Amino acid sequence: MAAVPALIVPFKALVGRPGPPGPLAGETGFFPSGHAATAAVAYGAAALLLRPHLRRRLRRPLLAAVAVLNLAVAVGLVRRGYHWPLDAVASWCLSGPLLWTALRLSRLSRPSPAAADGDRTAEPTEAPRRRDDATPGDGTAERRDDANATTTATEPQRR
């Protein structure tokens, strides 16, 4: 969030774009929109913080909600005469790299599963196979005995 003003204010000073007709007509410094950038980074960062804690099926709706909220902020700013539509679009274009950088930095600072266990040299392990998967090509099959919930290997199958 602290990077938003550090990025937006110099652009406003450099461009000096006048605002649309409305409550602040005659003023300059409307491009890009600080309000839209702040909303995009705030909602986007909140989604990045929540994303690892959500089930996979809830991640896309979260991103859709963030997009809808940002669109609503932009529409409100334009309808009330505080910004031109391009002001909001430019803010989103500047907020995207900020969020991408935050995502990359959060991945770098997150310890790997091996590091969490204290073993920094451990290689990632293979995902465990399901019990009902047979090893391809070995001629054996596994069967599940539901009566006592155990898995037993059977003799090689003859064809």
> How far is the C-alpha of 14 from the C-alpha of 9, rounded, in Å?
9
Sign of CA dihedral 34, 36, 39, 45: negative
State residue 73's pLDDT score.
Answer: 95
| Residue 136, C-beta contacts closer than 8 angstroms, at least 6 positions apart | none
State residue 89's pLDDT score.
Answer: 92
State residue 30's pLDDT score.
Answer: 76
Per-residue pLDDT 10s for the chain (159 aa) are 888 888 888 888 888 787 777 777 667 777 888 899 999 999 999 988 888 888 888 888 988 999 999 999 999 999 988 888 999 999 999 999 999 988 888 777 766 555 555 545 545 555 555 555 555 555 555 555 555 555 555 555 555
CB 118 within 8 A of CB 68: no
Dihedral (C-alpha) 13, 17, 21, 25: value to the nearest 10 degrees?
40
